[in-house]
Chain A
Amino acid sequence: MLIRKPADLRYSDITPKQFYVNRRRFLAGSLAFGALASAARAGNLSDVKKTSYDAGGEKVTPLDAITHYNNFYEFGTGKEDPAQNSQKFRTSPWTLKVDGDVAKPMTFDQDSLLKIAPLEERIYRHRCVEAWSIVVPWIGFPLNALLKQVEPTAKAKYVAFETFYDSKQMLSEREAGIQFPYVEGLRLDEAMHPLALLAVGLYGEKLPNQDGAPIRLVVPWKYGFKSAKSLVRIRLVEKQPPTTWNISASNEYGFYSNVNPKVDHPRWSQAKERRLGELFKRDTLMFNGYPEVASLYAGMDLRKNY
């Protein structure tokens, strides 16, 4: 006899649980994908004002790259995982709570998110801490439009952001290697800067799930991980709030995390970046090419406050 007949092994006997559960989720997701893809077409956003924010006329990154090359660890740590694993993610109903040191705490549901302020299209450069970058035509409104509505008190010095987490739909902390729910933060004056955006869409449509639906932060002069996705809570606070990647490795990811070609990540250089779609690297610009934010950091040692 040449080859022994295998014993009655089932896939579940030899496959770690997390993999077959993921596979089921993936199969279910791909079945639902056809329906969702057509539903996504209906996500057109109307009354969007064009603006002069055009990333210096740089070429916008193709939609396919923006939606299939994501860091969204809740849906997997591979770049193409979020596009696959987030298709079944339910963004309705949704609640975004804005509270803390404010005179008028507010809560928004999915529809009212789109009506906080007039929507505008802004083309921003987006630079990941991993030294790749994209140019995205976001749709959203300035974060300061929301903050002005809730009226921060004199005590408020920082803004803390918390993102959605559900262990049933998402990776565990152990699998992802970072703490959930994902939290981020800005100094109040950074958050009030006109460049800081709350995005609800891109490429003329509502945000795809893998890009942080239904609402996310976009801070174009900081590394991408500062721009927290799928926000459920914005809190105005007195003290500098903890931030997820800083908790994970404080020597690698600081609270500020401004794009800075002169301050390297301990494990790689930040002097250059690869624009998705380009073969060779290009120079990284100070504050990702947004020098208007420099005054926020006047007198600060950006080597220490990385």
Chain B
Amino acid sequence: MNTLFGKILASRWTKVALFAACLIPFLVLLGPFYKLLTTGVAPELTANPVEYITHDTGTWTIRFLLITLCVTPLRKIFNQPRLARYRRMLGLFAFFYLCLHFMTWFILDKAFSFSDMWADVVKRRFITVGMLGFAMLLPLAITSTAGWVRRLGFAKWQRLHRLIYFAALAGVIHYYWLVKSDVRLPLMYGAILTVLMFYRFFIWKQTAAKRAPAPRAAATSPSTASLPD
């Protein structure tokens, strides 16, 4: 059972298929958006297409962040190391939808005005926290390549990429602060994030407990260990 599943996970075609699947939310918007630009109406995008596109791309950003954060727990729970192959792609899709979200807002809401944008970032806490999330994901997208892992060294790279936890939290808070009164959806995303973070916390505690005696032992005799006899 594991081996067949493992083979599927290892296949290049699975990655291609997943890539195509991740593009679906974008493609679903693209057709109606083209119709909107050429004919002026696109009922698929509701009567307020700009708001719809902004909300839709924002929601997909949060979803992809949470999906990305699912990869490691699933990999460990089901003992499927090959799942890790998909993590970068999923994370980059989160960044892709975030860029669409940001551009929709910057172009259609702020009409390319940096001063208007900055005024909003400073004044409105939901935008402040949203931009903070953007600022945290940007370096992660840039350093997502194998070259950057090598350049930074894995430990440093991994530490940097823990920013995704805070970016996801920023996304959820951004959403929660935006809605007027019906907070059910932001709370749901918040709950999923909490579960994913608790899992990490427990794993971290477990490994810390296992390792605890070893480093202490090492710490008591570092000089002897490193001194040449």
Binding site for B on A (CB under 8 A): 1-2, 62, 64-65, 68-69, 73, 77, 79-80, 130, 132, 175-178, 248-249, 264, 266-269, 274, 276-277, 279-281
Contact = CB atoms under 8 A, between A and B. Distances in A.
Contacts of B125: 267
Contacts of B123: 264
Contact of B40 (A73, A175, A176, A277): A277
B183 A177 contact: yes
B120 A65 contact: no
Interface string B46-83: 11111100000000000000000000000000000000
Contacts of A267: 124-126, 177-178
Contacts of A132: 48, 51
Given A68-B46, A77-B182, A277 B124 contact: no
A84 to B, nearest CB: 12
Contacts of B109: 281
Contacts of B180: 77, 130, 177
Contact of A274 (B46, B50, B124, B126): B50
Task: List 4 A-B pairs, minimum CB-CB distance, nearest first.
Answer: A177-B181, A65-B47, A69-B47, A77-B182
Interface in B1-55: 1, 4-5, 36, 40-41, 43, 46-51
B108 interface: yes
Interface string B105-137: 000110100000000100111100000000000
Given A268-B124, A269-B120, A279-B108, 7 more contacts: A69-B47, A73-B181, A80-B46, A176-B182, A177-B183, A268-B120, A276-B48
A69 B177 contact: no
B77 to A, nearest CB: 16
Contacts of A249: 181
Contact of B111 (A178, A268, A269, A281): A281
A68 B182 contact: no
B2 to A, nearest CB: 11
Interface of B: 1, 4-5, 36, 40-41, 43, 46-51, 108-109, 111, 120, 123-126, 177-178, 180-184
A203 to B, nearest CB: 15
A69 B49 CA distance: 11
Contacts of B46: 68-69, 79-80
A64 B183 contact: no
Given A267-B177, A268-B124, A277 B182 contact: no
Contacts of A274: 48, 50-51
Contacts of B51: 132, 274
B1 A1 contact: yes
Contacts of B5: 2
A279 B33 CA distance: 11
Contact of A248 (B41, B50, B177, B181): B181
Nearest to A248: B181
Nearest to A171: B182
A267 B125 CA distance: 7
27 contacts: A2-B1, A64-B47, A68-B43, A68-B46, A73-B181, A79-B47, A130-B180, A132-B48, A132-B51, A175-B182, A176-B182, A177-B180, A177-B181, A177-B182, A178-B181, A248-B181, A266-B124, A267-B125, A267-B177, A267-B178, A274-B48, A274-B50, A276-B47, A276-B48, A279-B36, A279-B49, A279-B50
Contacts of B120: 268-269
A77 B47 CA distance: 16
Contact of B43 (A64, A77, A79, A276): A64
Nearest to A271: B116
B221 to A, nearest CB: 51
Contacts of A1: 1
A157 B183 CA distance: 36
Contacts of A175: 182, 184
Contacts of B50: 274, 279
B227 to A, nearest CB: 57
A79 B180 CA distance: 13
A47 B51 CA distance: 38
Given A280-B111, A281-B111, A77 B4 contact: no
Residue picked from B1, B5, B48, B50, most chain A C-beta under 10 Å? B48
A176 B48 CA distance: 21
B4 A2 contact: yes
A69 B43 CA distance: 11
B138 to A, nearest CB: 24
Contacts of A178: 181
B125 to A, nearest CB: 8
Nearest to A269: B120
A280 B181 contact: no
B9 to A, nearest CB: 13
A37 B46 CA distance: 20
